[in-house]
Each structure stands twice: as structure tokens, then as C-alpha cells.
Amino acid sequence: MPASSSRSLLRTTLATIAATLITCAAQAQDITIKLATVNAPTSESWKSALAAAERVTARTNGRVAFQGFPSAQLGSTTDSIEQASQGLPVMTFTSASFLSTFGVPELSVVEGPFVVESAEEGERLAFSPLMQGFYDRLATTAGLRVVALNWFDGPRHMIGTAPYPTPDALKGVKMRVPPVETWLKTFEPLGVVATTVQAAEVYSALSQGVVTAAESPLTGLRASGWFEVAKEITLTGHFNLFTGWVMSEAAYQGMSEADRAILMEEFRTGGQQLTKISADLEGEIRKEFEAKGVTFHQADIAAYRKATAGFYTSFPNWPAGLYDQVRAAASGK
């Protein structure tokens, strides 16, 4: 059996055993959840998470408590997801693309280029029956429970040492691209030299020339400070990532039904609040950046759409018609 299959089987077995033991307990136990993210403590997503966690703790009278671990203190996103899948009380900030590698490849479709037209469509899609089916499979196959994937922190744009108004401008550019299939299948066909750099190391990589470009929402650029070492931002809006929080299914099942409902409700509310905060901040951040010497450039969106259209036919393990199902769920049709 391949090593990856063995690890997958071990994760599933451990999660199933843990869930069974907890379910058989006489009553749900109090829990302290380790809240983990690779993002900086100054990021809007982290501040919103702490606020949501405080509301959960208050509403559960302390039965559900949290410990915070920003800035990759528990390791990379993959590390903390692995910890959660093994039954540990960890909740981590991640995206649909990362989760798709844990036995539900269809999840990656929602993070394709230009897949939703607005945050409203994203919210509708994140809580649609289509996505809920994927979430339930993830709980079964990997021991991971999606809490909320509606934490939209704004469309992602490109930042670098030069503008990239058309796809051709990216050819040969050393670009920071996470080692995630959706990112790679979006950017590699554009001719970039995809370079893996952990989020916490991108600032130094840009300042040292290890990479000359990266991408992020404007709120993320403010929190990370990348704009201090790369002064050209091209407004591509290529992704609106389905980010949010996922936790151990075993730990989730160990909570009472009422506490689980509170957790899900408050973290969905947290995502809605982050979406609004991010939208409200975009104009402010742009003025702030321009005052610090950053130049903004418009992108030929039609050209980028055309150049990335092949993404949706590049996944042989997706069922036929998946993209059409996603668009129908997002548009409410």
C-alpha cells in the first residue's frame, strides 16, 4: 500500500476510534480548542476569530474555551490540519483547496479562478446543500469537520516588482505559489516560475529576490507588510478564496449538540463580519498604500479569464458537470 494511502487510512481509523469513544461517553465534556493560523496576529481574520471565540465561550458559559496560536505556532496549515484529523482538539484556518487533498477533491473547484462573481455568491455557495455534502464526506474520510468556509477577506490581487496587466506579463516571473493544486493549475499555465514559500517567509523572500511576485487580498498585504518590499499591485481579483475554520470531527462530536450549534453559528457570523470589514477597508488600504509609494494597476480581466479557463477541465477526478453545479449553487438557481 502506498505511504499516502497508509497515512490516509491511519487518519480515518484514528478519527473513527476517537469519535466512537467520545460518543459513548456518558455526557459531553468541556473542551479547550487550540485555534491555529499561519496568519499574523494583526490580520483581520485572526482578530475576527478571537472575537468569535469569545462569543462562543460566553454563550457556552465556559464549556468551550480557546487557546490562540497565530503566526504558524502550531506549524504549517497542513501540520495543523493533520493534528485535527488525528483527533486532537485543534481548529485551524484553512481553505477549500487545502481540504480537497484530504479525500474530497471536488472541494477545490470553488477556489478556481473567477468562479464566483461576488461575496454574496460565495456566502450562498459555502452553505449550499452541494457544499454540505462535501463537508460530510470530509468528516467521514478524514475526521475533519468544517465549521465555516465563508471567511472572505477580499479578492486576491498580484503584488510584485513590476505590474502584470496581462497574463503575458507573468511569463518567467518567480512567483510565490503555495504547493496546492488549485494554485499551481492556475498559475503555472501562465508561465510563472512557481516557487513554494511559507506565508510567514514571503516578506524576506520578496526583499531578497527569492521571489519577485506574490498574491494576496489587500487586507492580507497590510497585515503582512509585503507592500513595504514590493511596490506594484495589479488588481486582478483572480481568486476569492473560500477560507475559514475546520476542526477535529472527534472533538466536535464530543461537544453537546447545543454547543456545536453555538460554535457553528458564531463562526459563520465571524465570516460574515470579516467579509464586510474587508470590503470596507479596501478603499482605505489603497489610499494608505499609495501614500507609501505603492502603485496600483488595472488588469485585463477578460484576458485573464480566457488564459485560466482551462483550469476547469484540468481535474480528471472531478465528476462531469461539477462547474455547472457550483455556478447554480452560487447563483441560487
How many independent structural domains does the chain possess?
A: 2
pLDDT band at residue 162, thresholds of 50, 70 and 90? very high
One domain, residues 137 and 276 = yes
Specify whether 77 is located in the same domain as 130.
yes
pLDDT score of 5: 53
pLDDT of residue 7: 54
Please check whether residues 216 and 115 belong to one and the same domain: no
Beta strand 64-69 pairing with 31-36: parallel
Same domain, 87 and 103: yes
Residues 236 and 256 in one domain: no
Q: Which tens digits make up the pLDDT trace of 201-250?
A: 999 999 999 999 999 999 889 989 999 999 999 999 999 989 999 999 99
Same domain, 256 and 325: no
Give 243: exposed, middle or buried? Use CB within 10 Å, 0-12, 13-18, 19+. buried
Shared domain check, 134 and 47 = yes
pLDDT of 6 above 60: no
223 and 326 assigned to the same domain = yes
Residue 30 maps to which CATH number?
Answer: 3.40.190.170
Q: Answer yes or no: do 200 and 300 share one domain.
A: yes
pLDDT at 181: 83
Q: State yes or no: pLDDT of 22 exceeds 90.
A: no
Is 224 in the same domain as 327?
yes
Same domain membership, residue 219 and residue 83: no
Whether pLDDT at 161 is above 60? yes
Quick one: 209 and 91 in the same domain? no
Q: Which residue, among 248, 61, 215, has the nearest Cα to 146 in the 3D structure?
A: 248
Residue 215 three-state SS: strand
Residue 117 has pLDDT above 90, yes or no: no
What are the tens digits of pLDDT across the range 173-215? 999 998 888 889 999 999 999 999 988 899 999 999 999 999 9
Range of the domain at 187: 157-240+282-331
